[in-house]
Structures are given as structure tokens and as C-alpha cells.
Structure 1
Amino acid sequence: MMRILKVVSICFLMILASHIEASAKNDGFNWEPVMDAIIQIESKGNAAAVNGPYVGVLQISPVLVKECNNILKSSGSKKRYSLSDRYSATKSKEMFVIIQSFHNPLNNIEKAIRLWSGGIRYSVSKTQAYLRKVMRQMN
């Protein structure tokens, strides 16, 4: 019985891994307008921007890098991000998509912005001003 449970668990993780990697690579949703607006607000496009523990164009924290790596690890992917990857606009955008693919699989733009501002346990009231800023920047 335990052997069957292990096999089922491994199969589930393999399916999850392929779904997360496929979503992170290209789920058909275009996050560019959202990312571009956030980049303008967070760093004005400066890849060398630093604000305490937040760095790069998307102002990524060490906690977010760790979360991306945990998502990738749970999906079976060998890819990992380092803290220095936050200075790469391309890798920062990849991390954004990984976070959205996992925590916002329905690609809800409002949720994406609030999630980016307030983390996975964001407060609607505390992320309201940030949401308005990003939406204004997108328009």
C-alpha cells in the first residue's frame, strides 16, 4: 500500500512539475504590460536599483528568490535562481512569471499586482494604493 502511495505521489509531482514549468515558460498570458508598469514604479527600469533587501528592476527580495526556488524544487525542475539573478531584468521577469503561475494560476491582473506588492498573504487594504499606481501606469 505504501509503495502504491509513493508511486502515485511521484506521478503527481511529475505532472505538477511539467505544468508549472510549462506555465512559467509560456502559458499564453502576456504579463509584459503588468511587469513593465511595475518596473516603472519600482525602479524606473534601473537593473542596479537597490532599496534595502529589494534589488533590480522588479525590486525582488531574498524571500521571493527562495519562494521561486521552492516552487521549482517542488515541481522537479533543476533550475534555481541566485540572489544575483535579481539584477537581471530577464531573470527577474522569469521569477515574476513563476510566482504568478503558482500563486495566481488564473492570471488575475489585480491579484498579480496585489501579490507583488504585499506577498502571498497580501492585505487588500494595504495594497490598494499600489494597485492604483500600477493601473495608472498601465493606462
Structure 2
Amino acid sequence: MRFLKVLSISILMCLVFSGSISAEISSKKENFDWRPVMDAIMMVESRDNAKAKNGQFVGILQISPILVRECNNILRGRGSKKRYSLSDRFDANKSREMFVIIQSFHNPLNSVERAIRLWNGGLAYTVRSTQRYFERVMNHLH
């Protein structure tokens, strides 16, 4: 009986502790300022031109239809009613929102390096294939 009581207390403490860690990580995600990184990426991608087009990539952050779909899937998984359309890629504010959604989901530790490489090479990026892009963005970031 004593064992069950100790086990119950241990489980309860783990739940409370993990909840506080989860809240702390969530708070850090929401408070992270991606603006400098986005500004640097925008200079590399489109020279800050919201009307820029390069094949299927458009807008200030050169967003593809696949990325719009991924943002909508992430939002759907979070129970949000908000959705993005392909034309939203030309809207600078909505493009920035999509960037933050992608980073919050696929880069929960807010790594600037991962953010840059992920934006260029997608989820399966390699350091080697994204190195030149990473250096170009970092030149604009500093």
C-alpha cells in the first residue's frame, strides 16, 4: 500500500513538473522574435518584394503551395479555423505568420540556424545543400 502511495505521488509530481516545462517551452515559442531572421531571409529570397515570383514560389518569403498546405495542416491539428490560401503568399503579414507557424511546429527550440536551413531545404535539408543559402542569410542578419 505504501508503495502505491509513493508511486502515485511520484507520478503526480512528474505530471506537474512536465506541465511546467511544457508551459515554459510554449511561452518561449510565443515570445521568440523571428523578425530579424525573417527580414534577412526576405532580402535573400525577394529583396523584400511582396510581388516577387519564381515559378511556384511567390511573395516576400517565396512561399510554395506545399508550404501553404503544411501551415493549414498544422492549424487544423491545433483546432484552428484559420486557413491560408495561395493568394495569401503575396500578403507580407500573412507570409510572416506562415513562417512563424512553420517554425513553431518544426523548430520548437527556436534555432536560428535550423530556421534558415529549414526554410531553404525543407524538412529533409542537409547542412551541405543549405550552406551557401545559410551564409547569405547570415550576412544579412549581421
TM-score bin (small chain): 0.7 to 0.9
Listed as ranges, the matches of 1:8-27 within 5 Å are 27=30
Identity of aligned residues (%): 63
2:46 to 25, 38, 43: 43
Normalising by structure 2, report the TM-score.
0.80
Q: Where does structure 1 lack aligned partners over 5 or more consecutive residues? A: 1-18
The alignment's C-alpha RMSD in Å is: 1.4
The runs of 4+ residues in structure 1 deviating greater than 3 Å are none
Residue 78 of structure 1 aligns to a residue in which SS? coil
**Match of 1:13?**
none
* Residue identity opposite 2:127 in structure 1: V
Listed as ranges, the matches of 1:66-105 within 5 Å are 66-105=69-108
Normalising by structure 1, report the TM-score.
0.81
Offset at 1:124? Answer: 1.1
* Residue identity opposite 2:118 in structure 1: L
Larger radius of gyration: 2
Offset at 1:74? Answer: 0.8
**Match of 2:66?**
63
Q: How many pairs align? A: 117
Q: Where does structure 2 lack aligned partners over 5 or more consecutive residues? A: 1-22
Offset at 1:118? Answer: 0.4
Matching of residue 54 in structure 1 with residue 53 in structure 2: no
**Match of 2:7?**
none
Residue 27 of structure 1 aligns to a residue in which SS? helix
